[in-house]
Amino acid sequence: MAGFSSHQKRNICGFCGSNPRKEKEFLESANHLGQVLAERKIHLVYKGGSLGLMGGVSIATFLEGRQVLGVVPKALAKEDLLGKTIGEELQVSIMSDRLNTMFKHVDAFIALPGGLGTLEEIFHISSWAQLHILHKPIGLLNVNGFYDKLLSFLDQAVEQKFLTSSA
């Protein structure tokens, strides 16, 4: 895993959907994010594969000359499930190992639109931050207001005292 040491301060983890999308704004945003990461000399760690938004951001980052590491559970390593991983691929035993591995190799997290897997990752990382296990920035790329209702829900959880405003 050349270039992806925990001491390097230029690695970001991208969470996003792998399903092909019809909305071109989502894919354009993923491609643009990959280009911006490359321009800023930031490497990408992601869930592997070449489909959907994950493919868009990883391909754009890789083509612009940055390192890309896909972390893939062995059960999903089949090309017909995720597509071919762009850049380097690291296979792990189980899904929970994927997130732990990605956590070790990055300095920050960004989530683009996605499905249940993306939401799971957002909440997993956010709960670690709330418990002070994690001290790395987490951001949402809210393309076309994709996360507006989620953010409203979290505001309600704060109002009902299930979350602190700092969380």
36-45 pLDDT, tens digit each: 999 999 999 9
Statement: residue 82 has pLDDT above 60? yes
- Dihedral (Cα; 112, 158, 106, 73), 10-degree rounding: -70
Rounded Cα gap, residues 49 and 85, in angstroms: 4
User: For residue range 10-55, what is the model confidence (pLDDT) as tens digits?
Assistant: 899 999 998 876 778 999 999 999 999 999 999 999 999 898 999 9
Query: Is position 128 within any domain?
Result: yes
Query: Is position 43 within any domain?
Result: yes
Statement: residue 117 has pLDDT above 70? yes
Query: Is position 40 within any domain?
Result: yes
Q: How many domains is the chain partitioned into structurally?
A: 1
Query: Is position 2 within any domain?
Result: no
Query: Is position 5 within any domain?
Result: no
Rounded Cα gap, residues 62 and 71, in angstroms: 15
Q: What share of the chain is helix, strand, coil (3-state, %, to 5)?
A: 45, 15, 40
Which CATH number belongs to the domain containing residue 116 in this structure?
3.40.50.450
Contacts of 122 (CB under 8 A, 6+ apart): 15, 111, 138, 140
Question: What pLDDT sits at residue 39?
Answer: 95
Query: Is position 89 within any domain?
Result: yes
Query: Is position 44 within any domain?
Result: yes
Contacts of 130 (CB under 8 A, 6+ apart): 163, 164, 167
Query: Is position 166 within any domain?
Result: no
Domain that holds residue 105: 11-159
- Kindly report the pTM of this predicted structure: 0.88
